[in-house]
Structure 1
Amino acid sequence: MDSSLEVLEQVLWNDTRNESLSCPFCSSNATPHTEQEIYTAQLSSLIVPVIFFFVCLVGLVGNMLVIYVVLRYAKMKTVTNIYILNLAIADALFMIGLPFMAIQNAIFYWPFGFTMCRIVMAIDSINQFTSIFCLTAMSIDRYLAVVHPVRAANCRKPSIAKIFSCISWLLSIIVVLPVIAFSHTDGQKSMCNIKWPDPVKVWSTVFILYTSLLGFFLPLFIICLCYLLIILKVKSSGMRVNSSKSRRSEKRVTQMVVVVVAVFVLCWLPFYILNIVNLAVEPPEDMLFHCLYLFIVILSYTNSCANPILYAFLSENFKKSFQKALCLKKARGHRGGKNTGLHKKKHKVNVTSPDTEMTTLAENGRGCNH
C-alpha cells in the first residue's frame, strides 16, 4: 500500500468515536478496509472538494448579490427583505469557510491550525441556526401581515425586523458555544472535529438533542403553526386574496417565503433525522454509510446557494434588482417618443404595503448608473 493510502487509512478514517455527527462539517468514522472501499474513499476525496468549491462560488456570488441589492436600493428595504438580508449574510459567511472544508476533504487532514478550526466550525454552526431563526421570524411576519394587517402595522417595520435579526444572531452564538469550546485538532495530520469531554456519549447525546430541538424541530413547529393559522384565517373569513393589488402582493411574498422554508426543510431534514437515528443505532463503519453521510452534508450545504436563485424566480422585485445590479436591464424610455409615456407611467404605482411586490425601481431607466 502506498503512502497516500496509508494516510487515508490512518488519518482520515481513524476510529476515534469522539466526534459528533451533529456537526455537518465533522467527518464520519467509516474505515475503508477493502481495495474497493479505499478506491471509493479516494474518489470521494476528489469529487467532494469540487462540489464544495462549486457550491462556494455559486453561493458566494448569489448571496453577495442579495446583500448588495437590499442595501443599495431603498425600495428593497422591506421587513421581509431585512430577514432575507440577514439570511444572505449568514450564508455568505459560511461560503467563505467552505473552501477550508474542501481542502480538508481533499488532503485528509486539517492544515490550518487550531484557531482556524474553531473559527470555521463556529461559522458553520452559526449559519445553521441563524438561517432557521430568520426563516421563523419571516413566517411570523407573514402571519401578522395576512391575519392581522392593521393591528400589527406598528410591529411590522424595518427597524423592528433589524432588532429581531440581531436577537437571532445572538441566540445562534449562544446555542453554538459548545461547538466553539470543543472544536479540536488532535496534533498534526488530524481532522478538525468536535472532541467531547468524558462522558463522551452523554455530551454528544445532549448536544444532538438540544441542537435538533432548538435549531430545527421547534422553529419548524412554529413555522408550520403560522401557515396553518394563515390558511384557517383565510378560509374562515372568506378573504379574497386577489381583491386588491396590496393583497396580491402579500400573497406573492408569502408564497416566496413558503418556498424558501420548504427548500430549507428539504435540505436539512435528512441531516437532523440522521442525527436522531444515530442516537439509537450506532453508525456503521462502512463506505456505504460514509457516502450517504457525504450526500446528506452536501445537500445541507447546497441550501446556502439555493436561496438567491429562488428569489430571482419568485420575486419580481429581486429579479429586477438583480438585473439592474448586473447591468442586464437596458434603459427604457430613451428609444423614441412612443416609449416615454409608458416609462413615466411606471413611476405612478401606489405602494400600500411595506412588503409590496408592486414596487418599481425608479432607477430602471438609468441603465447601469449605480
Structure 2
Amino acid sequence: LAPPSPSLPPSPGSGGGGGGGASEEAAAGGMDSGGRNSSGAPNSTLSESQGSAILISFIYSVVCLVGLCGNSMVIYVILRYAKMKTATNIYILNLAIADELLMLSVPFLVTSTLLHHWPFGSLLCRLVLSVDAINMFTSIYCLTVLSVDRYIAVVHPIKAARYRRPTVAKMVNLGVWVLSILIILPIIIFSNTAANSDGTVACNMLMPEPTQRWLVVFVVYTFLMGFLLPVVAICLCYI
C-alpha cells in the first residue's frame, strides 16, 4: 500500500487492494532519423510501454466484469432468500459489498493507465484511492471476523448461539466499516492530484514535509493495521 512518488501518474493498485501510480513515457513527439522520438526515447520502448498498458487494462477490465457479476450474485442471493441470512453469510455479504465498491472504481484506473495520466480531477482521485483503501481494510477485517466466528462455533459451541446471530453480525459489520474509515483517514486527507514535469496530471498521496519520514510512518502504520494485527488474530483463531 505504500504510495508512489507524487511525480508518477497512476495505475491500478492492489487488495487489498489499490489505486497507486505508475509513470509511462510520453507518447508525443516526432521521429528523428535514428528511429527515436523527439524526447530521445527509443520507439520500441514506447511500443512496449503502450502494449503493457493495453494488456494491463484488458486484464483489469476482465477482473472488473467478473467481479461485478460474481459479487452481485452473492449480494442478491443473500438478500433475496431469508434462509441465507445467517451470521456467517452476513459477514460474506459485507465482504461482497466491499469488493463491489472496488470493482466500480476499476474503470477509472483502466482509463488512467491507457491515457498515462489522471483526467478525472481531484475529487474522484480522492474518492477512488479511498475506495481502494477501504476495500483492503474492510476485506481483511471481514476475514478476521469470519475466523473469530468459526473459532466461537467450534471451540465454544454453547456460547455460539448467543453471538452467532444475524443481529450481532450486522452490528459487527457496521463496526468494521467505521473502523476501516477511521484507519484510512490519512489516505482521504492526503490524496490529491499533482502535475508531473511533462505536464500530465497524477493521482497520488501527497505527503507533507518531511515527505520521506511521513512515507515511512505511513508504511509501518498500514503494515500493522492492514496486515500484521489481523494475521496474528486469524492465526490465533486456528491454533
TM-score normalised per structure 1: 0.54
Quote the offset at 1:29 in angstroms. 5.4
| Structure 1 CA distance for aligned equivalents of residues 210 and 22 of structure 2 | 20
**1:216 aligned residue (186, 210, 227):** 227
- Say whether residues 1:101 and 2:109 are aligned partners: yes
Give secondary structure in 2 for the equivalent of 1:109: coil
- Superposed CA deviations along residues 122-168 of structure 1, whole A, max 9, x for unmatched, are 11110000000011000000000000000232111111111111011
CA deviation after TM superposition for structure 1 residue 37, in Å: 3.8
Q: Is the 8 A contact 2:19 2:109 kept in 1?
A: yes
User: What aligned pairs does 1:124-273 form with structure 2 within 5 A after superposition?
Assistant: 124-187=132-195, 189-228=200-239
- Are the equivalent residues in 1 in contact too, given 2:8–2:21 (CA < 8 A)? no
Tell whether the 8 Å contact from 2:6 to 2:203 is kept in structure 1 after alignment: no
Instruction: Give the Cα separation in 1 of the matches to 2:165 and 2:5.
Output: 52
Say which of 111, 120, 125 aligns to 1:112. Answer: 120
Q: Contact conserved, 1:15 with 1:30, CA < 8 A, in 2?
A: no
Partner residue, 1:87: 95
AA in 2 matched with 1:26: G
* Residue 68 in structure 1 maps to residue 76 in structure 2: yes
Write the distance in 1 (CA, Å) between the matches of 2:191 and 2:51.
27
**Are 1:27 and 2:21 an aligned pair?**
yes
Q: Deviations over 1:180-216 (max 9, x none)?
A: 1111112573121111111111111111111111111
CA distance 1:103–1:29, change in 2 (3 Å): closer
- 1:82 aligned partner, one-letter code: I
Q: Given residue 234 of structure 2, which amino acid in structure 1 is its aligned partner?
A: I
Contact 2:99 2:135 in 1 (8 A): yes
* Distance (Å, rounded) in 2 between the aligned partners of 1:31 and 1:107: 11
Return the offset for 1:15.
8.1
CA contact (8 A) 1:104 1:191 kept: no
Task: Give the Å deviation of 1:51.
Answer: 1.0
What is the total number of aligned residue pairs between the two structures? Answer: 215
Q: Tell me the alpha carbon deviations over residues 6-49 of structure 1, each in whole angstroms, 9 at most, x when there is no partner.
A: xxxxxxx9983799x99832114577955554332211111111
* Map of 1:277 onto structure 2: none
Match of 1:16 in 2: 7
TM-score, normalising length: structure 2: 0.83
Q: How far apart in 2 are the matches of 1:15 and 1:94?
A: 22
CA distance in 2, matches of 1:198, 1:180: 17
Change in 2 beyond 3 A, CA 1:208/1:30: farther
Question: Which gives a bigger RCO, structure 1 or 2 (Cα 8 Å, sep 6+)?
Answer: 2
How do residues 297-336 of structure 1 correspond to structure 2 at under 5 angstroms?
none
How many angstroms apart in 2 are the aligned matches of 1:18 and 1:63?
A: 29
Q: 1:170 to 1:41 in 2, by over 3 A?
A: same
User: 2:137 is aligned with what amino acid?
Assistant: F
* 1:92 maps to amino acid: E
- Letter in structure 1 aligned against 2:20: C
What is the rounded CA distance, in whole Å, between the counterparts of 1:30 and 1:212 in structure 2? 28
Identity of aligned residues (%): 47
* Cα drift, residue 120 of structure 1: 0.9
Aligned AA for 2:140? I
Distance in 2, matches of 1:177 and 1:212, equals 15
Q: Aligned equivalents of 1:24 and 1:76: distance in 2?
A: 31
Q: In the aligned structure 1, how far is the partner of 2:152 from the partner of 2:65? A: 36
Please state how far the C-alpha of 1:174 moved relative to its aligned partner.
0.7
Is contact 1:15–1:31 with CA below 8 Å preserved after alignment? no
